[in-house]
Structure 1
Amino acid sequence: MKYILILGDGMADWPVDELGGKTPLEYAKTPNFDRIAKEGKCGMLKTVPDSCEPGSDVANLGVLGYNAEECYTGRGPLEAVSMGIDLKEGAFAYRCNIVAVKDGIMADFTAGHISSEESAQLFKTLNEYLPESVKAYSGISYRNLLVLKNAKGSITKAPHDIVGQNISENLPTGDDSEILLKCVEISREVFKDHPVNKKRIADGKTPATEIWPWSGGKKPSIESFREKYGLSGGIISAVDLLNGIAKCAEMKVIKVPGATGYLDTDYEAKAEYAVKALTEEDIDFVYMHVEAPDEAGHLGSIKEKVLAIERLDEVSGRFFEIEDLMIAVLPDHPTPVAFKTHTKDPVPFAIRGRGVDECSVYSEKEAEEKGGFKTIDAKDFLNIFFGLKSA
């Protein structure tokens, strides 16, 4: 038996007036997700512990059955693992967005979805001016890292949570705050007249004004996926966060050309590589993560969120062609278009192959009202999916 988990990041939502009171998931045309629900069994999944913030890091760890309260040290170190950065004793890795601040207000937490090439150029120059105890690492688009030697940690705000707010009210606090704020100030000076920004302004694009470090921590320790479930696993994702989780859990990172972590990601290629992994490689379980619905939610774009859901549904039809394959579909957390950031509400899931209930479509309302699994905790999800535990 093989297993595929289709994870639409931030796919769950709230009812939207413009969609006639339906959520984007209810409104979207999703015949394949509906088939999973109709031929299977649904429920609601609590992916974020009460004591944690509803980040994709905590939520995806939860879906994989890992308790963030026990193993989570921050988003930064997970991405550092993905990027192959060796965090020495005492070092902290902070996720470091390249952002756009205008008149003291967080205007854009992605700096206009700056390209990876532009980020690399900005960070190359930035490293020439940072203190010796700090190094910046460029990643994918606006998602980068700042590593501090001999750090102790700070309380920080995620930039996507403070869009439209004054940054002076959301600055880092705690032991590392002084050096973090110094790095931010240096980045402002470096970026101000940088050739990358001059060209972006000339092209009518949003300039990158500074860095925003957040969610720092030391190197995490996570139980091997095979030891936990007795199965081999692989993750398909365009973002370092998920690939970092995969490496920590000793799962295979399946790289897919054309996967961008944005609205323009290659859905078909992701599905193709998932099929190959399941049918041609020695991988029992594939976690196919798609970031696009979450990005649309952060943008507050109803149209793009519906489109992202429909595109993910369309390529998911390929999995019905594989014999002896268990299929599950779910989000990690909601990213409501009206709220533009994550919430910790339980999310709807559907599993084909673990019984049947009265659900005929896949949606938040259907799973909550008719789902045979009711509401379960994330730590039990894969155990139920793999048949290691009954619901």
Structure 2
Amino acid sequence: MKFLTVLADGMADYPLDELGGKTPLEAASLPVVNELASRGEVGLVKTIPDGMAPGSDVANLSVMGYEPERYHTGRSPLEAASMGVALSDSDVTFRCNLVTLRGKGDYEEMTMEDHSSGEITSEEARELIEAVGCELGGGGLEFFPGVSYRHLLVWRDGPFDFSFTPPHDILERKIVDYLPSGPYGERFLKLMKASKAILENHPVNQRRKVRGLNPANSIWIWGEGKKPVLPPFRERFGIGGSVVSAVDLIRGIGILAGLRSIEVEGVTGTIHTNFKGKADAAIRAFGAGDEFVYVHLEAPDECGHQGDVPGKVRSMELIDEKIIAPIYAALKASGEPYRILVLPDHPTPISLRTHVADPVPYVLFDSEQELFNPEHRFSEASGKETGIFFDHGPKLMRRFTAR
């Protein structure tokens, strides 16, 4: 038996007037996943436990079968695992975004224009983070470049008493009410202010401005955490395999769970990613003997944060056409039984441009137990109408992998 999970980050949404009262998921043309829905199980799953923030860290742990209440120790240490950054039990890690702040005058009065600096390239970002690290690193602080706008800060043997706000939660708001707080908040605020002086006129940003792109003119620190320990996926579910993702967060969860992280050239975490390369990597993994492959696509989430309605709809159509369709065809041709699970991790509503904790729809197709429900579609409404509801994300992974 082969098991494919396709996780379309932030895919779920709310009805939009510009889509005639439909959600982006309902408006998108998704012939393949809707075929799976009509011949499989459709329902809702609660991926965010009560009292926890609706981040992709919590949600993907949940979807992958790990209770966030028990195993979540922060977002950034999961990313550190993917980046190969060794951590001791006393180290504290932080996500370090490259962001675009808008405004003049005092730093505190500026506005969060873009949490991703116009989806800055990894090559440009590396140059900027290295400049920041050269000036601001030391004294136990280390900066590590990641993918696009997503980077890592480690405080060796650091304290753990902070309060931060994710930058994608405060788009188009003044940052004054969302600055680092707690006993060490002022230290981090000084780092962020100092980074602006380093980055504002850096040659990379000067070139971006000439091209009409958002400059990465500040770091933004958040997502603190400490080294986690996950029991092996194979011990929990009796199967092993791989993860395919552009983002360090998902690769890190996979690595910590004992899964193989497959590198794919040209992946970006946006609508311009190498969709074909990801599908090919999953097909090769199954062909090489993997039982389980977890394919993560970030594009719908990024479009949700950007408020990009056409982009979000199109990203879903590309996932259906370039990810689900070819892998589904390969699984059918293999002659082996298989299951396919398609779902988001959390909603990222266009109207809010950030994550919410609402339950999300899922499709579960089993080649050995095909159903016939022609009215079923992969949508928020259809998931609710079936009455099938998993009140805790890990329960769905146990259901998916049960034999």
Distance 1:93 1:78 in 2: 9
Equivalent position of 1:249 in the other structure: 257
Q: Secondary structure at the match of 2:135?
A: coil
**1:366 partnered with 2:382:** yes
Q: Secondary structure at the match of 2:312?
A: helix
Equivalent position of 1:135 in the other structure: 142
Aligned partner letter, 2:296: H
Which of 289, 308, 313 is the matching residue for 2:315? 308
Give the superposition deviation at 1:355.
5.9
**1:348 partnered with 2:364:** no
Distance 1:231 1:116 in 2: 33
Q: Deviations over 1:158-196 (max 9, x none)?
A: 000011111111011124323212211221111122111
Q: Secondary structure at the match of 2:44?
A: strand
**1:224 partnered with 2:255:** no
Q: Secondary structure at the match of 1:128?
A: helix
Distance 2:201 2:85 in 1: 29
Equivalent position of 2:75 in the other structure: 75
Distance 2:365 2:402 in 1: 12
Contact 1:36 1:328 in 2 (8 A): no
Which of 105, 113, 116 is the matching residue for 2:122? 116
Give the superposition deviation at 1:304.
0.4
Equivalent position of 2:107 in the other structure: none
Structure 2: segments with no counterpart, 5+ residues: 104-109
Distance 1:47 1:144 in 2: 25
Distance 1:258 1:119 in 2: 16
Give the superposition deviation at 1:249.
0.5
Which of 318, 339, 349 is the matching residue for 1:326? 339
Q: Deviations over 1:125-150 (max 9, x none)?
A: 21222142211111111101111122
Aligned partner letter, 1:311: L
Q: 1:179 to 1:89 in 2, by over 3 A?
A: farther
Segment drifting more, 282-291 vs 320-329? 320-329
Distance 1:167 1:149 in 2: 27
Aligned CA-pair RMSD: 1.4
Which of 393, 399, 403 is the matching residue for 1:378? 393
Aligned residue runs from structure 1 range 166-315, under 5 A: 166-279=174-287, 281-315=288-322
Segment drifting more, 221-230 vs 347-356? 347-356
Q: Secondary structure at the match of 1:118?
A: helix
Equivalent position of 1:85 in the other structure: 85
Aligned partner letter, 1:171: L
Q: Secondary structure at the match of 1:48?
A: coil
Aligned partner letter, 1:210: S
Aligned residue runs from structure 1 range 144-163, under 5 A: 144-153=151-160, 154-163=162-171
Structure 1: segments with no counterpart, 5+ residues: none
Of all paired residues, the percent bearing the same amino acid is 41
Q: Secondary structure at the match of 1:32?
A: helix
Contact 1:105 1:164 in 2 (8 A): yes
Distance 2:348 2:250 in 1: 17
Aligned partner letter, 1:283: D
Contact 2:246 2:268 in 1 (8 A): yes
Aligned partner letter, 2:394: K
Contact 2:390 2:396 in 1 (8 A): no
Give the superposition deviation at 1:116.
1.1
**1:61 partnered with 2:61:** yes
Aligned partner letter, 2:277: A
Segment drifting more, 324-333 vs 188-197? 188-197
Distance 1:58 1:374 in 2: 19
Q: Deviations over 1:354-385 (max 9, x none)?
A: 563744221111111025x3344212111111
Q: Deviations over 1:316-368 (max 9, x none)?
A: 12233323121111110111111111111000001111563744221111111
Distance 2:22 2:118 in 1: 29
Runs of 4+ in 1 over 6 A off after TM superposition: none
Q: Secondary structure at the match of 1:127?
A: helix
Q: Secondary structure at the match of 2:164?
A: coil
Segment drifting more, 156-165 vs 86-95? 86-95
Aligned partner letter, 1:230: G
